[in-house]
Amino acid sequence: MSKSLRVRAPIDPIAAEYANLKYDGGSGNLYTETFAKPTSASASQWAWKARGKSGSAIGRRDGAKGAPSLESLAMKSVLENLSGVTEDVLQWVPWRIGERIWKEIVRAQLDSFHIWRVFVAVYHEEEEMTSTYHRQSIIKPCIPLDGYVTPIVSESFRWITHLSISNVIFSMTELVNLSRLVNIGALDILASPRYPQTSLDTMGDGIVRAWSRAATEEGAFSKLRVLMLRYHTEITPRSLEYINCFPSLMLYNVTGCSITTESEGEAHKLGWTCEAGKDLLEALQRDKEMARSWDLPIHAYFRRAGVLAALDQSKVEPVQRIDKLPVLNFRIGPNASEDLFANLLNSDILFFQRLPLDDIGAVSESEAGKKGGPENDRSESSPPLKRRKLKVSKHKNFEELLKEFGSM
């Protein structure tokens, strides 16, 4: 018996060619449709984001009738074409005109980080620009950390950056590379226990050691006054050995880390004293006039650290020069509580504050002279000998010394 054979119908090449095409009934055309996800390049446009929109912000405010003035037309054109406002363009614009443009940009809420950076770079000698304080928040970061850090670097120190990274996990390499941010004045990295992803935390002593090496060999972190590493279990007392490489560092917050007040003895040997949050709060409250301008704790810590640094007379001028620079407050990740008083009144807050070595050294020499001991012949230029002076001062009314410089 012959078996029945199934014969496959021949493939129509013309039908196959048009199988994936779609038909537009309105025009009668055939077309293909492709879906593509946004790339990291499009996500990097965060620097241009502003609170306002150029189209809705432009208009006459004087209520006058008739044709708009030439100035109004010119300002309208500028606000509609901010992408063309560059440093090369503004360098030919005098401040009396640049100031009017800047005020109009701020009024229209079009002052994105990019525009702020351009104006600060060009008009960095003008008081109104140097006193600016710009905030930028990235709640849900979608690109590598370097994509955010590179634009906020100012090698010429046109502004100081306060960087906060909260509840976002970046790789160890990315965190180590923060040493490229030469103009950083305060760094806060928070891994709140409330966020489950912090179990993958990468922050530890090894990164602090890498930063200290960069500070020693490359001059990194030269303006860093405040370092806050909160709720990182891999931050231990060993980190205290590394932070002395940061020349400007005055406050080190290790709340929730593997460091306790039991490390105070070792900290004293390295030139640091242990402080609770309420102690820092009392110091901040003493300067109420300045405190009114502190709308973020990290800014308050930065200014307080400047006060402590200025106790060394040789650092007064550098401190004042840095305090006159514009400030960029850049925050990555979900925002933690920023209530200053609630933050500092927390009983778990733990700071280490750098001791004024010159003052303590002078007291130590005075006490040694009274005893007629060999300490009078010791050289002040040797770091190990300075540590020995700290030990002497620890037994010589150390608490009163802290009260003296804390009340200034």
Element (H, E) at 17: helix 13-17
Q: Which candidate, 396, 186, 408, 406, places its Cα nearest to that of 279?
A: 406
The whole-number pLDDT of residue 287 equals 63
CB-count exposure of residue 232 (10 Å: 0-12, 13-18, 19+) = buried
Strand order in the sheet with 160-166: 133-138, 327-332, 160-166, 184-190, 226-230, 251-253, 350-354, 272-276
- Other beta carbons less than 10 A from residue 259's beta carbon: 23
> Are 40 and 142 within 8 A, CB to CB?
yes
Answer whether 165's CB lies under 8 Å from 188's CB: yes
Tokens of 182: 């030469």
Contact 276, 215 (CB under 8 A): no
188-225: per-residue pLDDT in tens?
998 877 766 556 778 999 999 999 999 999 999 999 99
pLDDT in tens, 253-308: 998 899 988 888 888 999 999 877 667 777 766 665 555 555 677 888 898 888 88
**Nearest Cα to 272, choosing from 300, 298, 246, 306?**
246
Can you give the pLDDT at residue 403?
A: 43
Q: Which residues pair with 134 in a beta bridge?
A: 328
Question: Which of the residues in the chain have pLDDT under 70?
Answer: 1-20, 23, 26, 31, 33-44, 54-65, 195-199, 277-278, 284-295, 335-347, 357-408
Distance CA 16, CA 34 (A): 18
Closest CA to 107 of 71, 57, 68, 61: 57
The pLDDT, as a whole number, for residue 238 is 93
